[in-house]
Amino acid sequence: MNDRKHDKDHDHCHDPEPHPNGPELFIDNDPYDWDKKKISGAQLRELGSLPDDVQIFHKVPGHPDEEVKNDTVIDLTKQRGPDRFSTQPVGSQAG
The answer to whether residue 79 is domain-embedded is: yes
CATH of the domain at 84: 2.40.240
Per-residue pLDDT, 36 = 93
| Interval 17-76: pLDDT, tens | 444 545 689 999 999 999 899 999 999 999 999 999 999 999 999 999 999 999 999 999
Q: Has residue 88 got a pLDDT over 80?
A: yes
Domain residue limits at 76: 23-89
d(CA 25, CA 92): 24
- Cα distances from 79 to residues 15, 25, 75, 88, in angstroms, run 25, 11, 9, 23
Q: With 0.85 as the threshold, say if the pTM is over it.
A: no
Confirm whether 11 is domain-assigned.
no
User: Is 81 among the domain residues?
Assistant: yes
If one counts the domains in the chain, the total is 1
Question: Does residue 14 belong to any structural domain of this protein?
Answer: no
Higher pLDDT, residue 93 or 30: 30
